[in-house]
Each structure stands twice: as structure tokens, then as C-alpha cells.
Amino acid sequence: SQQGEEDPQALSIQEGENATMNCSYKTSINNLQWYRQNSGRGLVHLILIRSNEREKHSGRLRVTLDTSKKSSSLLITASRAADTASYFCATDNNDMRFGAGTRLTVKP
């Protein structure tokens, strides 16, 4: 069963624009992770945010976590065509549960 639920399901933007993806979940968590999956490839870990953290940055990525609302967001700034991929949030409560993902398309 999947816990995280990403929104939107699909997002199409122009290169250079920012992309924001949201994740909602249902139960308490130890941490939340974001992964990227290029077409036909395995998943690649992007960032992990712990339940006692509110915001985390990694390069052009910014992740926020609101445990009171059981939600997280992933912001990709200054997007590039190479950012085109599916993005998944995964909640970690001693086991990992992935959402259905957001399909991001960045047009050159």
C-alpha cells in the first residue's frame, strides 16, 4: 500500500522556471525522502528530511516538511531539461512507502 500522495500528478514547465511538487501522507513518520526516476531507470535519492526538521536545501533543491499538516514540498529552482523525470516522495516509519509520483517535463 502507498502512503505518500504527490500533487500534481503531472507538471510541464519551461526551462528556467521553478517547479514545485507536493506530498501528503497519513501517518506519523521518522523522516521523508524524495527520489527521482528517469524513464526506464532506477530511482535516485535526492534528499532526506527528518521529522524534527522543517526545511532542507541541496543545490537547486529545497524541501519543506510540515508534520502538523502531514505534508512536504519539493522545489526545484531554475529548472533544466535534464530535470525531466518522475519525482517520488517516500515516508519512512521503519519501512518505506512511496507515493505515485509527479511526472515533471521541462521544455527547452
Largest CA distance in the chain: 40
Nearer to other proteins, 60 or 97 (CB): 97
Rounded CA-CA distance 74/88 in Å is 10
Q: Per rule CB under 8 A, is residue 56 in the interface with other proteins?
A: no
Contact assessment for residue 15 and residue 80, using Cβ atoms and an 8 Å cutoff: yes
Looking at 19, 21, 25, 33, which residue binds other proteins (CB under 8 A)?
33
Going from the C-alpha of 29 to that of each of 25, 52, 78, 89, 107, the distances in angstroms are: 9, 10, 30, 12, 35
Q: Is 61 in the site for other proteins (CB under 8 A)?
A: no
Does residue 95 belong to the site contacting other proteins (CB under 8 A)?
A: yes
- Least separation in angstroms between CB 94 and other proteins: 5
- Compute the least distance from the CB of residue 36 to other proteins, in Å: 11
Residue 41 as a binder of other proteins (CB under 8 A): the answer is yes
Whether the bond into 8 is cis, omega within 30 of 0:
yes
Bridge-based pairing of strands 10-14 and 31-37 is unpaired
76 or 90: CB nearest other proteins: 90
Q: Tell me which residues touch other proteins (CB under 8 A).
A: 1-2, 4, 30-31, 33, 35, 41-45, 48, 50, 88, 90, 92-101
